[in-house]
Amino acid sequence: MANTTQISQTDSEDLLHSLPKEKGWIGLPLYQYQGSWCHAKGIEAALSLQNHFHACDSDVILVTTPKSGTTWLKALAFAILYRHKYTFSQNPLLTDNPHDLVPFFEFKLYANNQLPNLSDLPSPRLFATHIPYSWLPESINNSKCKIVYLCRNPRDTLVSYWHFTNKARPEALGPLSLENGLDLFCKGITGFGPFWDHALGYWNKNLERPQKVLFLKYEDLKKDIKYQLKRLAEFMGCPFTMEEEKNGVIDEISRLCSFQRLSSLEVNKSGKSIDYFENRTLFRKGEVGDWMNYLTSPMVEQLDEVMEEKLSGSGLTFDMYPQL
Ligand code: A3P
């Protein structure tokens, strides 16, 4: 773990008992570990990741906070990185959910005390995580592997998170009100949150080491996907050639990974890739500015006040409105 002490997995139960705890959004407790809120299994998996994962220089790690476009980023990175391996008509994205193609460290590979053998995976390997920068294993920090971070404006992230978690709450608990969700968000109590610490951790690393960390914004992807795909391909070390561009490869990738295309696929309408959630819950509206349909002016003020205070001086800003 970068900048932190390594803790053995056997200590994790004792550790959990010692941590501040809050009732999470879906009824499961969230624990505050080294400043970030996470469910018990996520902390255990992160500890295991720190102890066992060895990054290769050619690895690409995708990082997001929940509900900031993880599924989209996974699809885009997969389609770009492996474009010479699969034709568009036989692309695995047509039959598998992006979360099955690009596994999460904490929900899949290192979940439930599993120790995956990742050394046989062909290079370049593509992984994903929601964990904060300070929790990453040293080898990710020290190797030449690349980190791609995708962020989304806090208003849309909150609304998306609220919708999503309500689908996973046990019926007996009833739905969480948006007012309560906003309070939790503003206190920083979200999975892998606070939202602002998560974003700033990667934002600051991007400023410090731009060749190591690419910082993308959901709103920029919506605004100019072609330009952002070129940035992403170049950063991952596989830039598009002039010929690919002329042959429409970038357009094909953007179409294949679009909200309309992915959400209409059978696998994404009916399957299940992550515990608690049906694949279809990963695709709701996919728009910038949907917060306008949910947040009242006082709610926006409450959220903006916190965000302005937390992000002040960082240079990190967000587009809140769709491009006309
Ligand atoms: P909304 O709830 O605002 O619609 P994550 O993948 O991190 O869980 O984020 C989910 C959000 O990304 C949801 O936002 C979802 O609709 C949106 N999304 C999923 N696939 C997308 C895609 N291909 N393009 C744009 N947005 C997408």
* Ligand 1 proximity of 68 Cβ (cutoff 6 Å): yes
Residue 24 has pLDDT above 90, yes or no: no
Atom of ligand 1 nearest to the CA of 164: 2
Reported as a pLDDT band with limits 50, 70 and 90, residue 78 is very high
Instruction: From the CA of 290, give the closest atom in ligand 1.
Output: 3
- Does pLDDT of 8 surpass 90? no
Q: Dump pLDDT digits (tens) for 102-145.
A: 999 999 999 998 999 999 999 999 999 999 999 999 999 999 99
Residue recorded with tokens 């978690």: 165
How high does pLDDT run on average in the chain? Answer: 94
Distance 287 CA to ligand 1 centre (A): 8
Q: Is residue 18 part of a domain?
A: no
The mean pLDDT value for 229-234 works out to 98
Cα separation of 96 and 113, whole Å? 25
Q: Is the pTM here over 0.85, yes or no? A: yes
Name the residue at shortest CA distance from atom 27 of ligand 1: 286
Whole-number percent of the chain with pLDDT over 90? 90
Is there an atom of ligand 1 within 6 Å of 72 CB? yes
Q: How many domains does the chain have?
A: 1
Phi, psi of 216 (to 5 degrees): -110, 155
What's the whole-number mean pLDDT along residues 86-111?
96
- List of E strands, the chain: 21-23, 29-33, 36-38, 60-64, 126-129, 146-151, 213-217
Q: What is residue 3's predicted lDDT score, i.e. its pLDDT?
A: 39
pLDDT tops 70 at residue 2: no
For residue range 142-174, list pLDDT tens digits in order. Answer: 999 999 999 999 999 999 999 999 998 989 999
Is residue 260 domain-resident?
A: yes
123 or 5: which carries more pLDDT confidence? 123
Residue 6 has pLDDT above 60, yes or no: no
Question: What residue's CA is closest to ligand 1, atom 12?
Answer: 69
CATH number at residue 45: 3.40.50.300
Domain membership of residue 302 (yes or no) is yes
| 130 carries an active-site annotation | yes
252 pLDDT band (50/70/90 cuts)? very high
For the cut 70, the answer to whether the pLDDT of residue 304 exceeds it is yes
Output the residue whose Cα is nearest ligand 1's atom 2: 160
User: Cβ-count burial of 159 within 10 angstroms (0-12 exposed, 13-18 middle, 19+ buried)?
Assistant: buried
Q: Answer yes or no: are the C-beta atoms of 194 and 310 closer than 8 Å.
A: yes
- 12 in a structural domain: no
Residue 250 Cα to ligand 1 middle (Å):
20
**CA pair distance 274, 283, nearest whole angstrom:** 14
170 in a structural domain = yes
User: Per the domain annotation, does 7 fall within a domain?
Assistant: no
Counting atoms of ligand 1 from 1, which one is nearest the CA of 75?
A: 23
CA 3 to CA 133: how far, in whole Å?
10
- Distances in Å between the Cα of 66 and the Cα atoms of 2, 92, 177, 245 are 21, 23, 19, 32
Q: Say yes or no: CB of residue 134 within 6 Å of ligand 1.
A: no
Q: Quote the pLDDT of residue 272.
A: 81
Given 52, 130, 163, 198, the catalytic residue: 130
* Of 283, 291, 250, 223, nearest in space to 70 by CA: 283
Residue 17 lies in a domain: no
- Cα(283) to ligand 1 centroid in Å equals 5
Structure confidence by residue, pLDDT tens digits, 269-282: 988 877 767 899 99
Q: Residue 144: which of 63, 235, 211, 57 has the closest Cα?
A: 57
128 lines ligand 1 (CB under 6 A): no
Q: Whose CA is nearest to atom 24 of ligand 1?
A: 259
Q: Rounded to the nearest 5°, which phi and psi values hold at 317? A: -130, 165
- 259 within ligand 1 shell (Cβ under 6 A): yes
132 lines ligand 1 (CB under 6 A): no
Domain span including residue 216: 25-311
pLDDT, mean of residues 10-17? 82
> Is residue 56 assigned to a domain?
yes
The model's pLDDT over 194-217, given as tens digits with 9 standing for 90+, comes to 999 999 999 999 999 999 999 999
Question: Residue 120 C-alpha to ligand 1 middle, in angstroms?
Answer: 31
